[in-house]
Amino acid sequence: MEYFIAVAEELHFGRAAQRLHMSQPPLSTQIQRLEQEVGARLLRRTKRSVELTAAGEVFLQEARATVRQAARAAERARAAARGELGRLDLGVIDAALYGVAPQIIRRFTERYPGVELTVSERRGDEQVALIAAGKLHAGFVHPPVRQPAVAVEVLHTEPFVLAMPESHPLAARERVSLAQVCAHPLIQAPRSVNPEGHDSMIAICRERGLRPNIAREASPKQTIIALVAAGLGASVVPAVLARHPHPGVVYRPIEDGGFGISTALAWRRQNPEPTVLALLDVARELRDAATP
């Protein structure tokens, strides 16, 4: 079709061949084959001129549209291979919704508006299972992830702080120790809601010979903070929550180093979607820009 368009626009085989960077005989052969395939004469040739037939006029319009569409299809395929088009089904834990996820998602949608993005809040272990099964493209989770089929890259580590009512005995302090935290009743999410966060806190306490006094369980984090404001106890929460003030609640850093939790991006290790690799590039870019 591109050969025919060149001849139809030049109305001269020699000039068309020059434009196509080829010799004239193969061009004439290709046009003859095209006419045979179409089943109609498209060009009227004489020794001195080339003219379009009525069939050729109609075919020229359709050929131009077809070539434009083929070029568009090729470009969209290349864009999809670069992760600029397609679909991205993304999972996110609630902690990441307060932390790194919104900025990454915003930057990704700004850079790749052609990607159809869906975001669903899910537990970390549920995300890992879905990613391994090929039913979810990627997700924000707490490491560690012990599923060999799933790759993980840490994006951010958030320290824990103590959220407590203004009347709490520790509220007057600028910082609190882990021993002081464990000595007071705590409100925490059940392990089934956040196994990684729960296990991380328990493990760090045990390393220091401590055992947290979890007196009440609640979920999600908004409910926990509401219970703290009601004076029912304190709670160990990611520091990012301190950037979202709640009436009646104060936050204090926990001075024992290494007491925190990481957020990572998880994706299927084998043959990840191009959109996942594009998301990973954005996440790395933002992480590296934030690193001193």
User: Angle at which helices 2-10 and 54-81 pack, to 10 degrees?
Assistant: 130
Report field, pTM of the whole predicted structure over 0.85: no
Mean pLDDT for all residues in the chain: 91
Q: Which residues contact 201 (CB under 8 A, 6 or more apart)?
A: 160, 188, 212, 236, 259, 261
Mark the ranges of the chain whose per-residue pLDDT is less than 50.
Answer: none
Structure tokens belonging to residue 205 = 């306490």
**Sequence-ordered list of residues with C-beta below 8 angstroms from that of 123, at least 6 positions apart, any chain:** 93, 192, 193, 194, 195
Q: What is the pLDDT of residue 77?
A: 85
Digit-coded pLDDT (tens) for 77-127:
888 888 888 999 999 998 888 889 999 999 999 999 999 999 999 989 999
Rounded (to 5) percent helix, strand, coil in the chain: 45, 25, 30
Nearest to 163 by CA among 221, 94, 123: 221
| Alpha-carbon gap, residue 292 to 283, rounded angstroms | 16
Taking the C-alpha atoms of residue 163 and residue 158, their distance in angstroms, rounded to an integer, is: 15
Secondary structure (3-state) at 268: strand
Instruction: Please say whether the beta carbons of 101 and 140 come within 8 A.
Output: yes
Q: How many residues does the chain have?
A: 292
How far CA 151 is from CA of 138, 269, 270, in Å, comes to 10, 5, 9
Q: What is the pLDDT of residue 292?
A: 64
Check residue 281 and give its pLDDT: 95
Backbone angles phi, psi at 274, to 5 degrees: -55, -35
